[in-house]
A and B are shown apart, each in its own frame.
Chain A
Amino acid sequence: MALSREVALDLLQTMWRIRAFEERVAVLKRSLQVHGLIHLSIGGEGVAAGVCRQLRSDDVVYSGHRAHGHAIAKGVSMNAVMAELMGKADGCCQGFGGSMHLVDRDQGFLGATGVVGGNLPMALGSALTAELGGGDEIAVVFFGDGAVQSGHFHETVNLAALWQAPLIFVCENNGVAEFTPRSAHTVVERVSDVVAPYGFESETVDGGDAASVWETFAGALTAARAGRGPVLLECLTHRRRGHYEGDAQAYREALEEEQWQAHDPLARLERRALDEGWLDESAAKAIADHAGAQVEEAVAFARASPLPDPKLAAELVYAPA
């Protein structure tokens, strides 16, 4: 399916919201106004938007430690995510999850996990639930190329193929696992090659090209909804920031600006939209400005939110029977 003006503008709006959010979080982290290990997704906006904007709220998404963009694209309120990062009571998890454990049940964002690879089988469990329920909901799991070397990945891929479950694996292959390049972790360069023997559909796309992600994912979604089994979408992407905020990045060559410009999914989709005549310069700027204003609103909301009641910690260990 070719990208339309309407979809392109929706993707741009979503990507700008993620970009503005992440850049603001980087600044807030420097003054310790947001807490804990913060993994930013700048460079991955095209994947988050291209995938999540096609999903319904009853489709389930699981993410990993780099989850802010996926949550925002899936419809989790930026106010609630920002408040969660600040450890506040109005956070999406009332300040009990934090950056790596965002959840919004109503939006079908069943969660981010801080243990790499741990989300994969859980997503399959949600896909199995959908299948047994007889509906056409599907599950999506986002993970990085680092997770592919985990046992959970291989066990889950095998099970998903065996059960022909409605699960879409979305791998963001940025070529770096934590501090070391992919070549130091495995001899298999492409994740789509890893799943090839299992016989399910897989495709590798340029993750910097939001249009391409959107178009390819649309095909995967149709297949999964129709009960044609699992699909893997590998998005070659770029991690603009360190593994986490504050990471010294001694392992990495300073990124050439040109290389970043060539990848930057936002700049690329914006250029495309301008070329197609879907918007003009001032409309493009208005989208970015609006996203920035929404992020400032989220910061104000989060700052004004109270801290969680300490009594809640003991109450939340078990659900009432």
Chain B
Amino acid sequence: MSETTFVTAVNQTLARAMREDERVIVLGEDVAEGGPYTVTAGLAEEFGVGRVRNTPISEGAVCGVAIGAAQSGLRPVVEIMFIDFITLALDQLANQAAKAHFMSGGQLTVPLVLRTQGGAGERSGAQHSQSLEAWLTHIPGLKVVMPGCAADAAGLLMTAIADPNPVVFVENKALYFRREELTEDPPPVAIGEARVLREGTDLTIVATSRLRHEALRAAEWLAEDGIEAEVIDPRALVPLDLETLAGSVRRTGRAVVAHEAVTAGGFGAEIAARIGEATFECLEAPIQRVGAPFTPVPVSPPLEDAYRPGAEQIHSAALDAVEWDKPAGVRYARRGDGPA
């Protein structure tokens, strides 16, 4: 075990994949320079600029190049620097990558990984802070993963590169330099396997990416009041490990679904609906959702801090689930201002 960061884990996994398979190439804006967060630092030095390709600011074409290369036999890992710019590559991703295998009657495969990062917290404004993963989950043919820690990032990236399908790999910039312990060669993580981070009997908190850490904090606060929360990170949105999520909710009878994206139309709605369909007879309370308000991401620090969902909102939503049929007078105290 040694101490590492999310960025280092992704970087070392890319290097490992490139060493093991010469079909793996990396392309994107400034990747040979390491990119703004140093995720690809050192790769061009080791593998050359033929395999670690800087591209112009042409997200649509770069994504298309990666698709063409993938269906011709390479295993490209393409980087879209901020998920906000994925709008420019959506035609290629949604109309080409996602459908090539299907439309060709199974002849073509697109073993492509599209790495990108989202999330707020850097005061970067409404065009560099979004969480747009839900759009991608609506396209059959794409897989969507959201690692929430360095070990999962390494394990999921290994699996994603080996997968014959297009995988969108959504990182969260706020996790990049979080320190954690990691083994030398982290094991691969299957896409579609949730991870139970904390066991509990009173309610289930399903939280993605950064919010899994917030959910664990909220669970500690809940434990102070004698409420034991089970915390699960689905790790992949498509395919979704409904079995693990629903299995937990069948035992606890209550669920909170939390993500950083805007609540309305977010993937939490899909998770809540699927859990609801699968566990209706076991539910003791309506499934609660935690996410961002229906506004663009503001810049001003107090506004952005209020915008970003965190442990307080999860704690409050968990209490809403536990106490939904209790009168106001006997409820537990909420922390902060409650849900945004």
Q: Which residues of A contact B (CB under 8 A)?
A: 60, 62, 91-97, 101, 103-105, 110-111, 113-115, 118, 120-130, 132-133, 139, 151-152, 155-156, 158-159, 162, 313, 316-321
Contact = CB atoms under 8 A, between A and B. Distances in A.
A132 B64 contact: no
A96 B104 contact: yes
B60 interface: yes
B64 A124 contact: yes
B107 interface: yes
Contacts of A130: 72
B227 interface: no
B51 to A, nearest CB: 8
Interface stretch (B11-19, B89-97, B175-183, B261-269): B89-97
The contact size tier of chain B is 35 or more
Nearest to A101: B103
Contacts of A111: 100, 103-104, 108
B69 interface: yes
A2 B242 CA distance: 66
Contact of B64 (A91, A103, A156): A156
Contacts, number: 151
A232 to B, nearest CB: 16
B108 A125 contact: no
Contacts of B60: 121, 151-152, 155
B102 A317 contact: yes
Contacts of B73: 129, 133
Contacts of A319: 101, 106, 109, 164-165
Contacts of A93: 103-105, 107
B70 interface: yes
A318 B108 contact: no
Contacts of B96: 113, 115, 118, 122
Best-surrounded residue of A92, A115, A159 (most CB of chain B within 10 A): A159
A104 B58 contact: no
Interface in B48-64: 50-51, 55-56, 58, 60-64
B56 A155 contact: yes
Contact of A97 (B51, B105, B143): B105
